[in-house]
Structure 1
Amino acid sequence: MPPARRLLRVARVLRPVLVAAAVAGVFIAPSAAHATPSVEDLQEQITTKSAKLEKVVEQFNKAREDLKRTRAEAAALEQSLGPLQKQLDAAQERVTAIAVRAYKGGDFAAMSSVLQSGSAATAVDRLTTIDRLASANQREIDAYRAARKDHSDRAAAIAALAKSQQKTVDDLAAKRKDITRELEHLNDLRRQAYGSAQETSSNANVRAPNVSGKAGVAVRFAYAALGTPYSWGADGPGGYDCSGLTMAAWRAAGYSLPHNAAMQYNQLPKIGRSQLKPGDLVFYSGLGHVAIYVGSGKVIHAPTFGEVVKIAPVDMMSPYGYARVA
């Protein structure tokens, strides 16, 4: 059989198979490609991206705290320059006054005053005294000028540091914005699965335990925040991130904490697990997360994006360490 006729026969045999494959590709493949992810798959994606977001948020909080401290240092330095300038001006005026008294009327008048002093020794004494006063004040001026230059150098260094820290804040804000956009997409999918992107109130209206002192104030604040949505970079009252909640709780008790989990841990005295009392802070995730201990093996924390402030077991994650505020 000629080759051309053989190919034509093969094509006739394969045509139904190719058509069936094409139909299967049209009606089956797209269905598989666009299969709706399961609730478990969605939750796993949200958990992974939320953990990534929380690390960025805590880095962002730390950068803001660093920038705030740098700006405070710059303001204090600027304020200290005022008195220094006044001292410099006063010293300069004293030297000027000495010069005016010494040379008033010109060189001839000054020489006449010296020659009429009664003796050469007296004249020398007067000139020596004038020179000594002028030298002492000049040293004072030189010292103040050196101090002012030191202040100026420090101010320039602080300004450069603040500029660098501001760039870090801006970069992290941009990164956080990108991650948040991804989470919003996932929450659209979760809305399809659950009917809501935001977790509903959890453990709200639960009565706080009776704890005395400042720790009691902080614990009661945390209980009052139950059900409040997680909000990155926030310290209330409409939303909290993890370190924002612990900061706000202890702020209500009159104690100042930085808005960053690692900085809170580094600032506070450390305690052991057996020493835990209500009001103490429990740290997790390599100092990337923090919660407030409320007793009975429980903590209150602001978990992550899409969730609310809630009560959880102290071992919800493996604790990194424990610290006491007051």
Structure 2
Amino acid sequence: MSSPHGRGRRAAARLLAPAGALTIALLGFGAPAHAAPSAAELRKQITQKSDQLEKVVEQYNKLNTQLKETRAEAAALERELGPLEVKADQAKGNVARIASTAYRTGSFSGLNALLDSSGDGRLLARLSALDQLATSQRAQIDEAHRAAGDRFEVKAALDARLQEQTTRFTAVETQRKGIERDLAKLKELRRQAGLTDEKSSTYTGSIPAYKGKAGVAVAFAYKQLGKPYVWAADGPNGYDCSGLTLAAWRAAGVSLYHQAATQWREVAHISRSQLLPGDLVFYSGLGHVALYVGSGKVIHAPTTGEVVKIASVDMMSPYGYGRVRL
């Protein structure tokens, strides 16, 4: 026979079971796990993704610029190598003729070893044995040494540059593909938020006149208003942030690097109170840059889906201010 206490516990369990089951059911079928983000949340995600993407684009710009520099250096070495090849071949021919003459006249019986066709290396390595030749001949031999050495040095430098170029190209291509994927995600976020790309337009308003190269840079920036943001571009049909500042100052005859962080290292750092039209304003941990145009305003290329526009210098918290060195 069960005790009164046991029967009471079982009865209590039967009474509580439905309530417990109901509680579990309510927890299991609560709010949807993938509720659609609100417009505010989407805009926050867009801003975050834009900021992240801009930093990646700026890294790409630096890598891409370095690749262009490497290619230019390789091309210069290639041009330099051509005449050196001709000079070395001519010097080699002169030495061969000297050796042949010496052999025929019997002035040096060991010259037949110098005439083998195994290449420059063996031939030039044995040239020091030609002590019996005339001074003029020795001069030609010394020139052959120098020509072969010059050719070797330039060829080695060219090979190293070409290897570096290959490495940089691979890195640039990998990053470019990653950026394209991130852009697709950003565009999808914009679509979900109901945002459409801003339409390109041509600026027809007034342009403030400032003197000197800074005035040229400012005038150029005004003329780009309404052109689309295009990542890694420095014009003429679109720009990213550092591409715009680069192009503005390029119009004034001043060269800047295509990356905000490097532009920060190129300019003279100034205070907010020293800002003048043409100065650069940096933002987002050196991930964004704009051109100051006076009256507390900057012109900048914001992000994907937007166009070059005028904004307050305080559109974001400035990182710092810089004056382009002339």
Q: What's the TM-score once normalised by structure 2's chain length?
A: 0.78
Q: Who is 2:167 aligned against?
A: 164
Q: Who is 2:116 aligned against?
A: none
Residue correspondence of structure 1 range 11-22 to structure 2 within 5 A? 18=21, 22=25
1:38 aligns with 2:38: yes
Judged with a 3 Å threshold, the aligned counterparts in structure 2 of structure 1 residues 36 and 149 are, in CA distance, closer, same or farther, namely same
1:189 aligns with 2:192: yes
Q: Who is 2:126 aligned against?
A: none
Give the counterpart of 2:141 among 134, 138, 141: 138
Q: Who is 1:254 aligned against?
A: 253
Q: Distance in 1 between matches of 2:295 and 2:322?
A: 16
Q: Who is 1:294 aligned against?
A: 293
Q: Is the 8 A contact 2:275 2:321 kept in 1?
A: no
Q: Is the 8 A contact 1:282 1:323 kept in 2?
A: no
Deviations 1:199-220 (A, max 9, x none): 4679954422112333223212
1:175 aligns with 2:181: no
Q: Distance in 2 between matches of 1:203 and 1:299?
A: 18
Deviations 1:223-244 (A, max 9, x none): 1222323221122333321011
Residue correspondence of structure 1 range 268-279 to structure 2 within 5 A? 268-279=267-278
Aligned partner of residue 236 in structure 2, secondary structure: coil
Mean alpha-carbon deviation: is it higher for 148-157 or for 228-237? Answer: 228-237
Q: Post-superposition shift, 1:12?
A: 8.3
Deviations 1:222-281 (A, max 9, x none): 112223232211223333210111122223333333321123233344444444322222
Q: Post-superposition shift, 1:41?
A: 1.4
Residue correspondence of structure 1 range 224-263 to structure 2 within 5 A? 224-263=223-262
Judged with a 3 Å threshold, the aligned counterparts in structure 2 of structure 1 residues 270 and 34 are, in CA distance, closer, same or farther, namely closer
Q: Distance in 1 between matches of 2:202 and 2:69?
A: 37
Q: Post-superposition shift, 1:172?
A: 1.6
Q: Distance in 1 between matches of 2:186 and 2:97?
A: 73
Please tell me the residue identity of whatever aligns with 1:259.
H
Q: Who is 1:82 aligned against?
A: 82
Mean alpha-carbon deviation: is it higher for 127-136 or for 260-269? Answer: 127-136
Q: Distance in 2 between matches of 1:136 and 1:204?
A: 69
Judged with a 3 Å threshold, the aligned counterparts in structure 2 of structure 1 residues 58 and 97 are, in CA distance, closer, same or farther, namely same
Please tell me the residue identity of whatever aligns with 1:242.
C
Mean alpha-carbon deviation: is it higher for 309-318 or for 60-69? Answer: 309-318
Q: Post-superposition shift, 1:137?
A: 1.5
Q: What's the TM-score once normalised by structure 1's chain length?
A: 0.78
More helix by share: 1
Aligned partner of residue 311 in structure 1, secondary structure: strand
Q: Is the 8 A contact 1:281 1:325 kept in 2?
A: no
Residue correspondence of structure 1 range 25-174 to structure 2 within 5 A? 29-30=31-32, 33-104=33-104, 106-107=105-106, 130-174=133-177
Judged with a 3 Å threshold, the aligned counterparts in structure 2 of structure 1 residues 318 and 128 are, in CA distance, closer, same or farther, namely closer
Judged with a 3 Å threshold, the aligned counterparts in structure 2 of structure 1 residues 12 and 76 are, in CA distance, closer, same or farther, namely same
CA RMSD of aligned residues (A): 3.4
Q: Is the 8 A contact 1:58 1:288 kept in 2?
A: yes
Q: Distance in 1 between matches of 2:137 and 2:19?
A: 113
Q: Is the 8 A contact 1:265 1:323 kept in 2?
A: no
Aligned partner of residue 207 in structure 1, secondary structure: coil
Deviations 1:173-224 (A, max 9, x none): 2332332232122112211xxxx33346799544221123332232122112
Q: What count of residue pairs does the alignment treat as equivalent? A: 301
Judged with a 3 Å threshold, the aligned counterparts in structure 2 of structure 1 residues 96 and 274 are, in CA distance, closer, same or farther, namely same
Q: Distance in 2 between matches of 1:138 and 1:157?
A: 29
Q: Is the 8 A contact 1:236 1:245 kept in 2?
A: yes
Q: Distance in 2 between matches of 1:89 and 1:200?
A: 61
Q: Distance in 2 between matches of 1:234 and 1:250?
A: 15
What are the ranges of 5 or more consecutive residues in structure 2 without an aligned counterpart? 110-129
Please tell me the residue identity of whatever aligns with 1:311.
I
Q: Distance in 1 between matches of 2:200 and 2:98?
A: 78
What are the ranges of 5 or more consecutive residues in structure 1 without an aligned counterpart? 111-126
Q: Is the 8 A contact 2:241 2:288 kept in 1?
A: yes
Q: Is the 8 A contact 2:231 2:239 kept in 1?
A: yes
Q: Is the 8 A contact 1:77 1:151 kept in 2?
A: yes
Q: Post-superposition shift, 1:133?
A: 2.5
